[in-house]
Amino acid sequence: MILHGYWRSTAAWRVRIALAMKGLTAEQVPHHLRDGGQRAPDYLALNPQGLVPALETDDGQVLTQSLAICEYLDEIAPEPPLLPGDAARRARIRAAALIVAADIHPVQNLKIIQRIKALGQDEQAWARRVIEDGFDALEALLSKVEGPLAFGPAPTLADIFITPQMANARRFGCELRWPRLQAIEAECLKLDAFRLTAPEHQPDAE
């Protein structure tokens, strides 16, 4: 497999975590987002959205969107499961991941940040507000679930999305007022699958 990403992309970090949890390997091909590498014609031929990550599978298919890629990896390598439990539990885990993937993270995408700035707005403040609103809700939801991780003792899809987003919260200067989320992050970063796949350990890190 080939993983197209960028060292600081939290979406690419999610896929690196899932690969590591499953014991799968992928060749990493970096695309420097601030230099416009994601808009190069050869990459747009793979992923017309011009976003990372994209995963080329062993049989030559190209998968996009980190949530879809993680679920694909969960299907081809079921252990350990990213979506354990019954249907309702799996739905709650997906919902937690989607709070990050659909509601929080998109505003921090480089192209959105650039558009907000072009409108004369404070892009950092926009990002902080969206992260804080989303994390306030996620903190409340997960405070009702026994830990130490998001949904029990083992990492799930929810943890894979929460931990990289905590790094984004720091990057954008958020007030870290979420003890449950901070505890989840601390537990996750004890695990090699999370710690060794972090941005600062990537070959293209700057």
What would the pLDDT profile of 114-145 be if each residue is shown by its tens digit? 999 999 999 999 999 999 999 999 999 999 99
Query: Are 111 and 186 within one domain?
Result: yes
Q: Look at residue 204 and tell me if it is in a domain.
A: no
Q: In angstroms, rounded to a whole number, what is the distance separating the alpha carbons of residues 77 and 26?
A: 14
Last residue of a domain, one of 62, 80, 98: 80
Q: Taking the model in full, what pTM does it have?
A: 0.96
Judged against a pLDDT cut of 90, whether residue 76 lies above it is answered with yes
Question: What pLDDT shows up at residue 111?
Answer: 86
User: Is the CB of residue 43 less than 8 Å from the CB of residue 4?
Assistant: yes
Question: What pLDDT shows up at residue 109?
Answer: 86
Q: Look at residue 108 and tell me if it is in a domain.
A: yes
In the chain, the number of structural domains is 2
pLDDT in tens, 99-115: 999 999 998 888 899 99
Last residue of a domain, one of 34, 55, 80: 80
DSSP structure string for the chain: -EEEE-TT-HHHHHHHHHHHHHT---EEEE--GGGTGGGSHHHHHH-TT--S-EEE-TTS-EEESHHHHHHHHHHHS-SS-SS-SSHHHHHHHHHHHHIIIIIIGGGGSHHHHHHHHHTT--HHHHHHHHHHHHHHHHHHHHTTS--SBTTBSS--HHHHHHHHHHHHHHHTT-----HHHHHHHHHHTTSHHHHTTSGGGSTT--
Query: Are 64 and 102 within one domain?
Result: no
User: Is the CB of residue 53 less than 8 Å from the CB of residue 72?
Assistant: no
C-alpha distances (whole Å) from 178 to each of 106, 133, 136, 143, 204 are 20, 11, 7, 10, 31
* CATH code (residue 62): 3.40.30.10
Query: Are 93 and 185 within one domain?
Result: yes
Query: Are 136 and 76 within one domain?
Result: no
Query: Are 23 and 73 within one domain?
Result: yes
Query: Are 122 and 167 within one domain?
Result: yes
Query: Are 68 and 149 within one domain?
Result: no
Query: Are 107 and 134 within one domain?
Result: yes
Range of the domain at 57: 2-80
Q: Look at residue 20 and tell me if it is in a domain.
A: yes
Bridge partners (DSSP) of residue 63 are 55
Q: Please name the residues in contact with 115: beta carbons below 8 A apart, sequence gap of 6 or more.
A: none
85: region left, alpha or beta (phi > 0 left; psi from -120 to 50 alpha): left
Q: Please state the rounded mean pLDDT for residues 44-71.
A: 97
Last residue of a domain, one of 48, 80, 112: 80
pLDDT in tens, 159-204: 999 999 999 999 999 999 999 999 999 999 999 999 999 999 999 9
Question: What pLDDT shows up at residue 192?
Answer: 98
Average pLDDT of the chain is 97
